[in-house]
Amino acid sequence: MNTSLTFKTPWGWMGAAASARGARAGVCRIVLPRGSRREVEATLHRESLEVLWGKGKTSRLAPRTRCIPRNTGSPARLTVLVEEARAQLVAFLEGKRRALDFPIDLSGGSTFQRQVWRAILRIPYGRVRSYKWVALRVGGARYARAVWHALGSNPVPIVIPCHRVVAQDASLGGFSGGLKTKRRLLALEGTLPQLLPRKRNG
């Protein structure tokens, strides 16, 4: 069972979905700011159908990293969870909060993806790290490209702060939510000046 919520933020419309597995529940998907409610709802709806039908060609996320429908967890419990996620995300984007502490569900990711995502959680607010830095913590520099792909499949951006990972040459690198959003998140956290001025456009 999944519960999702679409909500307005100072940066645009966002979405969050939560799932439960036994006694544990967590947010399993966050949709970054979009121009309209309809765009966010369409993304959440499309991904839920792709999981049910086993299709995955039209989503940025790898099939295994999307919310997995389960028959556990009460709707009320999951509703409380996505409402808490909404409140914290709005406060974060307003600059009123630096940490997000609602539970997340990463069970849809592969073992390697979860390893990468946990490494990213160690990057504090106001700091940036390189893809190589992450790779060295999950097996070695040769995994840098695999790290890049794992970050692109991050189901809960901002909570798992993949926007804090930049290229070795201090350019922005990539971001599933688009470089404009990545740049804005880095500016919010005060880390954009840490990048080379000539490289800020990626």
Cβ–Cβ < 8 Å for 28, 18? yes
Chain Cα centroid distance, residue 180: 15
Q: Which candidate in 16, 119, 162, 188 is catalytic?
A: 162
* Contact partners, residue 116, CB within 8 Å, separation at least 6: 134, 138, 146, 147, 150, 151
Q: Which helix (H) or strand (E) holds 24?
A: strand 24-34
Give the sign of the dihedral formed by CA 60, CA 65, CA 70, CA 76.
negative
Reply yes or no on whether 162 is catalytic.
yes
Which structure tokens are listed for 140? 């070695």
Question: Can you tell me which residue has the tokens 């996505």?
Answer: 82
Provide the annotated active-site residues. Answer: 162
